[in-house]
Amino acid sequence: MRKYRTSYPVSWRVMDVAEAAFASVWPRGGGKYTPYLMLAPAILLVGTLAVGLLYIGDASLRTLDRTTFLFSDYWTLENYQRAFTESFTLTIVWRSLLGAVIVTVATLIFAFPYAYVMVRTSNQFVRKFLLIALFLPFFIGQVVRAYGWLIILGSEGFVNDALGLVGVDPIRLLFNYYAVLFGLVQYMLPFGVLMLAPAMTAIPEEIEAAAGSLGANWLRTMWHVVIPMAKPGIIGAGLVVLTLSLTDFATPAILGGGSQDFIANAIYDQFFRTSDQGFGSSLTIILIAIGSMAVGFVFMVFGAGTLALGGDRK
């Protein structure tokens, strides 16, 4: 201990004062309210989101006067009636929901073997390569990747150039529904693998060896042992991919070329192009409702998977 208090840096004394002040109002060890204090930032963020949703819900019940560009002072369901009667809205909703389901199934089909090989391989080089290939897309960004596919799949892109070498005329690979689905699967694949890998790691290799010793071949072992035991990870990955695909904006906008919009693109158009925030807010509420019902259906039929956080997993 130093002889003079002035020998200590000022910052130390400031911290001592702050610690003494905190100790005077908060008991040692934090007390029973410590977990709630740690939850305060998350509660603040969720509360902010809830307030924003209240404003959106209020705006969805007000119509836009095209002559004055002012919103009505009264509530009405006109925006929702318009959303459920106009054909383009129903088309976009159906396209978004169908696309999210297709992307989820395709992503799980590709992510499962990727995660299995990454977890089970004994070759360190292969494992590191798969890990690098998995995390590398996160450093690029979705918009950059989508523009990269424009270069690769364009009429003068790499794929059409390769087809031209064998005498095939250029094929339109962009600005259609299949291009959007392809781009979404490529974007969602790392998320699916990241959700599946922990579930794969939790399956002991000895169980697969035991199934093989009892006469099961590799295919039967995968179908009857590995996949059922990996069900929580499959469900968790499916939920994450489904919700991200349903609400995606960049990929349909870039690879769809404006002709294959999802709900998020329609919401953007209403807010920033037509300035009809009331109708855009109603589409937002509809998107939230569709996503919530889809997730609730999965919970009811398949359980919550790894998202149950140790709870009851069906």
Mind listing the pLDDT tens digit for each residue in 216-225? 898 999 999 9
142 and 16 belong to one structural domain: no
Residues 233 and 171 in one domain: yes
Are 223 and 144 in the same domain?
yes
Share of the chain above pLDDT 70, in %: 90
Burial class, 153, CB count within 10 angstroms (exposed 0-12 / middle 13-18 / buried 19+): buried
Q: Which of 155 and 84 is assigned the larger pLDDT?
A: 84
CATH of the domain at 138: 1.10.3720.10
Domain annotation covers residue 70: no
Q: Is residue 52 situated within a structural domain?
A: no
- Domain membership flag for residue 208: yes
Q: Could you tell me if 238 and 91 lie in one domain?
A: yes
On whether residue 69 sits in a domain, the answer given is: no
Query: Which residues span the domain enclosing 171?
Result: 78-308
Can you give the pLDDT at residue 310? 58
Maximum alpha-carbon separation in the chain: 89
The predicted model scores a pTM of 0.83
Residue 42 included in any domain: no
Shared domain for 97 and 178, answered yes or no, is yes
Same domain? 23 vs 109? no
Quote the distance between the C-alpha of residue 260 and its chain's center: 20
- Distance (Å, rounded) from C-alpha 180 to C-alpha 194? 22
Residue 134 lies in a domain: yes
Domain membership flag for residue 24: yes
Quick one: average pLDDT of 82-106? 94
User: Is the pLDDT assigned to residue 30 strictly greater than 80?
Assistant: no
Cα 297 to Cα 307: distance, rounded to the nearest angstrom: 15
Decide if 188 contacts 238 (C-beta within 8 A): no
267-291 tens-digit pLDDT:
999 999 888 999 999 999 999 999 9
Looking at the structure, tell me whether residues 183 and 302 fall in a common domain.
Answer: yes
| pLDDT class of 39 with cuts at 50, 70, 90 | confident
Same domain, 24 and 123: no
Closest CA to 269 of 260, 254, 256, 279: 279
Q: How confident is the model at residue 154 (pLDDT cuts 50, 70, 90)?
A: confident
- Give yes or no: residues 20 and 85 share one domain: no
Q: For residues 24 and 110, state if they share a domain.
A: no
Provide the number of structural domains found in the chain.
2
Residues 133 and 21 in one domain: no
Residue 288 maps to a domain: yes
Q: What tokens does 73 get?
A: 């002072």
Answer yes or no: are the C-beta atoms of 56 and 281 closer than 8 Å.
yes
At residue 170, the pLDDT reads: 83
Q: Indicate whether 81 pLDDT > 60.
A: yes
